[in-house]
Amino acid sequence: MTSKPRKPAAVLSPAACAVLERRYLRKDADGQVIETFEDMLRRVTCHAAQAEKQYGCDPQRWAERFYDMMADLRFLPNSPCFMNAGTKLGQLAACFVLPVEDSLEAIFTALKETALIHKSGGGTGFSFSRLRPSGDVVASTCGVASGPLSFLWIFDAATHEIKQGGRRRGANMGILRVDHPDILQFIQAKSEVGVLENFNLSVAVTNEIMEKACAGEDYDLVNPRTAKPSGRLNAEQVLDAIAQEAWRTGEPGLLFLDAVNEANPTPRVGQIEATNPCGEQPLLPYESCVLGSINLARMATAGGVDWRALRDTAQLAVRFLDDVIDVNHYPLAQIEHITRGNRKIGLGVMGFADLLFALGVPYDCDEALELGEKLMAEVSGAAREVSERLADERGPFPNFKRSIYDKSGAPKLRNATRTTIAPTGTLSLIAGVSSGIEPNFALAYNRKVGDGSVTLVNPVFERVARQRGFYTPGLVEDLLKNGAIKDGEGIPEEVRRVFATALEVSPEWHVRMQAAFQKHTDNAVSKTINLPTTAGVDVVKEAFLMTWRLGCKGLTVYRDGSRPQQVLAARPQRAPRSQPRERPEKTTGMTKKARVGCGNLYITVNRDDQGLCEVFTVVGRAGGCPSQSEAASRLVSIALRAGVEPDAIVEQLRGIRCHSTVAAKKTRDGAEVLSCPDAIGRTIAEFMNHGDNGADLVLPQRCPDCGNKLEQQNGRCVICRSCGFSRCF
């Protein structure tokens, strides 16, 4: 038995506690939480430190050091470590890439392997570029191929049915080379709402294609089955099509293949074709990677940055991540083989924007770029130093002789790669800091507490505002309304610059910051290029070109209010009505089953061309209170057709409790909701979040759990800073 580590953990926010209880803390058979944050950290650090035994070191000593680092929120590892360390599952890696070869057997083998990875808590990336194009010959059946997109849909449907470790749904990255004959269909693949909602998409481009795009030249499409040209497209027009779709929907992104493979540390082991779902981790087929992030906000001092603490944290974090590789339980033998062969880790950062706030440095200035580059150089240098030391103590990674590092007189390395910058959505929420290297999304938000709410303002901004005498209730209201300072009177210009939020930073500065961090990052940088609603397609295209020219490895853009994804709610513009409109002859909708105290309740939500228009319920055989449910449904339907916003109805219904339902909820197989009205409210919220074809779509401003503002991350994820709700798409 190891003794309990010495120091108590940092005090966490209510939102952090909520997300820990929902996703990470262990529960008993009745679903009751049975560990604290400190217990979880002990479970994770003691499990990882068991690797020290095989190298003749004291696991207890290292477990205590790992614990102190995490308890102080200086470093946190990727989510699977929190979920699975010390459990029977034991799968601790976040990122995986699987090969998809051009045969039916290989495709469905990849599908099975995907299911195993998602079940274990990981995310998967694929290149579908090896699949023959649609309409191509299939010799074994004398038929024609359906093409990569048809199999993307199959992978997407399978992902939808699998919950990662029972706690979060799987995520995928789908990549297609720009010279694949089906590239135009791929670019348009997510133009409709609800299609491929479990996939992020990126187009893999080469330097040659980007140069041809700049010159307006044509290029060959290549059939992967024959490796022969099968047509030609104009490179500039294809880039325009990608920019147009990214402007409209946020996807596809770009993956710069040449930049990725120029940094491939083991080219003789294989070429990189794909990344993890968020794009920050390029990997070989069957390779996985463990990630972790240093909290830069914890490195702020009155005089600047505590460089010694940053270096010490980076070195200890590398040792922890290397230990994780040894104690990890891998979902497939092939994954274990190549992961242990290369021993890639991805140490990154979070809280960069909060560090800038503390130092009084605007995000969009040369000083911030220089600081970002210097910070990552320090992290990278420390990581390499300890990796060299571990190679001396434990041996280099087994594929070292087949790597770019195998040069006469060069030091050996324990890890083929050491640094990655991930989006850190949930980790940053636990730590209470800004995500990755992104600017802050908002300066103030409401947090629901019981039946009311409290307003939380960024603590650095609040301190500065009070010290300089411009903190007022009106300012807070403006922050809640706009998320940013905007045009508040009496606020000095230098304060406005320092506390600019994501949508106030120009695309150019977003790109330049990504490039600054990429200079000293072995893998890639997850960064969203945020654009205002008014930005044109030409701005997206210029961001593509600038990111490529500056040597980045990939790009995601997000134009405010543009993304027609599952997280988006259809909000038709209509004037308030004093009388409900007539029920139309034809509606479309969804039906969902909810378990309540009296049995099953079937809830149907329908819409017409003006929006949600009716709700009705059917009670299962087990009984219940059909008259009450029907009354609630009729009133909700009338309210919807009278122009009452669905959000307002959901707010009234959510949280209503029924004693029989709450009692059933305490049993293992009990109810999933608090009451019949609560179930109706949840179903309406889910329907709104799924969007609908034929409606004008806007980014939802509100969390489906607590009603507060959602923060967009990485162009593909949302997170609620109030209650901890998060999801990636």
Averaged pLDDT score across all residues of the chain: 88
How high is the pLDDT of residue 512? 98
Contacts for 151-155 with beta carbons within 8 Å, 24 or more apart? 151/100, 151/107, 152/128, 152/189, 152/196, 152/199, 153/195, 153/196, 154/111, 155/110, 155/111, 155/114, 155/126, 155/199
Residue 576: per-residue pLDDT = 40
Q: What is the pLDDT of residues 350-375, one digit of tens each?
A: 999 999 999 999 999 999 999 999 99
Q: What spatial distance separates the first Cα and last Cα of the chain, rounded to whole Å?
A: 42
* Cα distances (angstroms) measured from residue 559 to each of 244, 249, 539: 11, 8, 10
- Listed by start position, the domains of the chain span 576-698
Is residue 664 within 8 A of residue 671, CB to CB? The reply is: yes
| Alpha carbon distance 512, 163 (integer Å) | 37
In this model, does residue 234 exceed pLDDT 80? yes
Which has the minimum average pLDDT: 273-282, 380-389, 573-582, 679-688? Answer: 573-582
Average pLDDT estimate for 461-477 = 89
Q: Alpha-carbon Rg of the chain, whole angstroms?
A: 26
- Residue 463 sits at the vertex; the CA angle it makes with 430 and 378, to the nearest 5 degrees, is 55
375-387 per-residue burial string, b: 16 or more CB within 10 A, e: under 16: bbebbbebbbbbb
Please report the pLDDT score of residue 211 as a whole number: 99
Q: Which residue has the higher pLDDT, 261 or 726?
A: 261
Of 130, 237, 239, residue with least CA distance to 174: 130
Q: For 550-590, what is each residue's pLDDT tens digit?
A: 999 999 999 987 764 433 232 333 334 446 777 777 778 88
Q: How confident is the model at residue 488 (pLDDT cuts 50, 70, 90)?
A: low
State residue 609's pLDDT score: 74
Do 318 and 401 meet the contact criterion of CB atoms below 8 Å apart? no
* Range from 99-113, 401-415, 466-480, 512-526 carrying the lowest mean pLDDT: 466-480
Number of other residues whose CB lies within 10 A of the CB of residue 358: 21
**CA–CA separation, 267 and 236 (whole Å):** 30
- Active centre residues (catalytic): 276, 278, 280
How many CA atoms are closer than 13 Å to the CA of 664, on its beta-carbon side? 20
Who wins on pLDDT, 714 or 120?
A: 120
Mean pLDDT of 177-198: 92
pLDDT at 476: 87
The structure tokens listed for 477 are: 């209201």
The 10s digit of each residue's pLDDT in 616-634 is 887 764 445 777 777 888 8
Q: Is the pLDDT of residue 126 over 70?
A: yes
Q: How far, in Å, are 11, 262, 290, 370, 442 from residue 349 at the CA level?
A: 21, 23, 14, 16, 20
Q: Stretch 541-555: mean pLDDT, rounded?
A: 98
Contact 300, 358 (CB under 8 A): yes
Helices (H) and strands (E) in the chain, counts: 24, 30
Q: Which of 245, 118, 100, 119 is nearest to 185 (CA)?
A: 245
